[in-house]
Amino acid sequence: MKIYTKTGDKGQTGLIGARADKDAPRVEAYGTIDEVNSFIGKAMTELDAEKYADLLADLEAIQNELFDCGGDLADVRKEPNYKMTEQPVEVLESRIDDLMEEPPLLERFILPGGSPAAATLHIARTITRRAERQTVTLMKSGEEFPSVVQRYLNRLSDYLFAAARVVNSRAGVPDNEYVRSAKVFKNGGRAKKRD
């Protein structure tokens, strides 16, 4: 089976219902979501199946949800068949709250790093933030897609932060605090903040 079609050789790609330039904002957004998904897959290969069974289950579900997000962004038909709902957003919120109870109290900003899997999750987190910024750009330009995608990406970046801290905690690796950080988190980072 050949995986190349040569249809993209002139700088365009297929959406669901149309074609677009490969550097179009919509294509950039779902391409960035694909980057997030790839780094999540890498993190999964770095996690022990027994110690991190709950996180691995979360991340497998997230990979599928990211595929749904990308598909929804690619669907430009007059009557699109969107897949994302609010339910995955609610699940992420619940999991964030649970996970933030596990690691040591957080008072200062931390630097990405620690164990290999935590570092990979931090990479996924920052790429998720970029994907979210790109969906905001799409919204402001009037492009149509389900707004839940942007909300999901916002929560996902918070989830990945919490997951990275849990990975370090379970591995016995301390988070690396930003040395010039003042104490910026109330309640040790336990507050249920949504932005």
Lowest mean pLDDT among 4-8, 17-21, 44-48: 4-8
Q: What is the C-alpha to C-alpha distance for residues 39 and 173, in angstroms, rounded to an integer?
A: 21
Higher pLDDT, 6 or 145: 145
Domains in the chain: boundaries: 19-75+82-189
pLDDT at 188 over 70: no
Question: Whose structure tokens read 């190349």?
Answer: 4
Share of the chain above pLDDT 90, in %: 74
Q: pLDDT tens digits, residue range 49-98?
A: 999 999 999 999 999 999 999 999 999 999 999 999 999 999 999 999 99
Average pLDDT, the chain: 92
What pLDDT score does 194 carry?
45
Q: Would the pLDDT of 3 be above 60?
A: yes
Domain 19-75+82-189 = CATH 1.20.1200.10: yes
Give the predicted TM-score (pTM) of the model: 0.91
Which position has the higher pLDDT, 158 or 8? 158
Dist. CA 177–CA 189, nearest whole Å: 13
Q: Read out DSSP for 36-64?
A: HHHHHHHHHHTS-TTTTHHHHHHHHHHHH
Provide the pLDDT for residue 138: 94
Q: How far apart are CA 18 and CA 129, in angstroms?
A: 27
Element (H, E) at 72: helix 53-74
How many of the other CB atoms lie within 10 Å of CB of 190?
Answer: 13
- The residue ranking higher by pLDDT, 23 or 8, is 23
Tens-place pLDDT, residues 15-33: 888 888 888 899 999 999 9
